[in-house]
Chains A and B, each alone.
Chain A
Amino acid sequence: MSERPSRPNTPAGGPAAPGHPAAPGAPAQENHSSPVGVIHDIGYRHYGGGRLGRSSATAALAVHSLRGIFGIGRTARAKIIPFALGAIMMLPAVVSIAIMALAQQRGMAYPGYAAGMQPILAIFLASQSPYAVAPDLRFRVLPLYLSRPVTIRDYVGAKLAAMAAAILLLLAVPLTVLFVGELLIDLPGAPLTSDYLASMAGAVGYAVLLASLGVAIASLTPRRGLGVASIIALYLLCSGVSTVLAATMESVNDYAAAGWAWLVNPFFLVDAAVHVGIFGTEPAAPGAYPGGIGVAAAIVAVLGLIALSVAVLIMRYRKAASR
């Protein structure tokens, strides 16, 4: 096999082996004969394979985080919440397929899927993103990661990629099932391929924005419970404020301001930026979004929020790693 460094054949460890009580004069004698602080090779097998380097370490961390977000490799109890929420996300797709098969009518619209299921997505984000970051902060194991080739940026990128992939899975699977169902049932008229593609692009937007916001907020506290509460509180605040504001503005007949008010909700923000703005589908919010400059503002806001979250994360981890 490979060339092993020849080692002195010490039968039972080092000088202080059990069953070999040192005589009173022995230590002084050994100091003369052998150098101080010898590291004995006690025969563990050496690693002889290739070193995969930084990118592989980052990818491994991302895959490990993604598995952990869904509870794979954790206890059975940790799997209940993510898989139950995933099953609820599938429900509208299954019901829509049933409606299409039995009544020959379309059920849930593709671009409105995420906005319609926003409470479920928000609960998933709130319950799982603290898992992705809080334990490492709480048990102060960050230096162990950083003693590898992984840098802070890699670590943050891996966690963000894992969370984004989890949300993308949560959205893309039901959307694709719904589309395949539509193709198989073969409704009269052309299949809504462009709507499906728009909703998949929107799913990427939702995944990146929600993951950045969720992981950034979760990283601010090492306590999982507080992280969960903060994320859901901010989501409920945004959606509540946007609903109240829009209803108020509509009651005083200011429909332009009502359109802006919907954009306070991050789900409608992505809907306005990607679905309505880029692909020109129907808005998922109860009212219309502001047109023209509103689309540009929504796109800028989405990108700005993502950049802000990533900046917060990098700063947070710089501080956490230096402790």
Chain B
Amino acid sequence: MNGVIAGISYRALLGRRRIWLLALLPVVLLGLAVLLRAVGADGERATVQLLQNFAIGVMLPLLGLIAGTGVIAPEIDDGTIIHLLAKPISRPVIAQTKFLVAASVVAAFATVPTFLAAYLLVGLESGVAAGFALGALIGGVAYAAVFMLLGVVTRHAVTVGIAYAVIWEGLVGNLVPGARRFSIQQWAQTVADQISSSAFLTTGIGLGFAATALAVVTVGGVVWAGQRLRSFSLTGDE
């Protein structure tokens, strides 16, 4: 953890146009929750569907993508990462710091609105709010790690990231049940299912597998990104 790098990364993430995109997603989620309440569709089933399809299914991967790639990919694109790598700071520490920044931003922008949206609709009933908030927190951290790694590995990090989130988790996950075992969204829902006692939330993955997978993906992503930075070669733009 390095305070200066963290400060620079926070400024790059929150100080520019990126923050509008980061703020837009939670605002839409809260807007939908308010609308559902206004038309009287605020049952537990509708709440779980909203959180599953929108909070975990759309908002979480997008926040992870914007924050995870946003902490490192623009610097690599500009070539300014050279100035950072030239400093006598351990490369794994740079990766860990950037990961902490991305994870904290995703956690703040995903967890709080998820909890609020659920609270608006069903209050604290059957642990839906707490469950999904925890699921969003853990899933968001995992997304941040994976997408930061992508940002270090490839120049097309954002495209590869959306291809994973939309094609693999969305299209393939809906058609092929086996693909769901390798989806961060499904792991996040499994975590939410543990806390919530709602009958409308069922997941097909055991907690043991989901928790192990989340831990492996998060730690592995950060460690690999650090290793990759150690032998980083900056290639020119195409």
Residues of A within 8 A of B (CB): 74-75, 77-78, 81, 88, 119-120, 122-123, 126-127, 220-221, 223-226, 228-230, 232-233, 236-237, 240-241, 243-245, 247-249, 251-252, 254
Contact = CB atoms under 8 A, between A and B. Distances in A.
B166 A225 contact: no
**Majority secondary structure of chain B interface residues (helix, strand, loop or mixed):** helix
A225 B69 contact: yes
Contact of A81 (B21, B156, B166): B156
27 contacts: A78-B238, A119-B166, A119-B171, A123-B163, A126-B159, A127-B159, A226-B17, A226-B70, A226-B74, A228-B162, A229-B21, A229-B62, A229-B65, A229-B69, A232-B158, A232-B166, A233-B25, A233-B66, A240-B53, A240-B58, A243-B53, A245-B32, A245-B35, A247-B46, A248-B46, A251-B46, A252-B39
B93 interface: no
Contacts of A236: 58, 62, 166
A240 B24 contact: no
A271 B150 CA distance: 35
**Majority secondary structure of chain A interface residues (helix, strand, loop or mixed):** helix
Given A123-B163, A127-B158, A248-B39, 4 more contacts: A225-B158, A236-B62, A240-B54, A247-B49
A244 B171 contact: no
Contacts, number: 100
Interface string B16-46: 0110010011001000100110011100001
A244 B49 contact: yes
B69 A233 contact: no
B51 to A, nearest CB: 10
Contacts of B36: 248
A149 B39 CA distance: 56
B222 interface: no
Interface of B: 17-18, 21, 24-25, 28, 32, 35-36, 39-41, 46, 49-50, 53-54, 57-58, 62, 65-66, 69-70, 73-74, 77, 156-159, 162-163, 166-167, 170-171, 238
A224 B46 contact: no
A277 to B, nearest CB: 27
Given A123-B167, A249-B39, A237 B156 contact: no
Contacts of A254: 39
B39 A119 contact: no
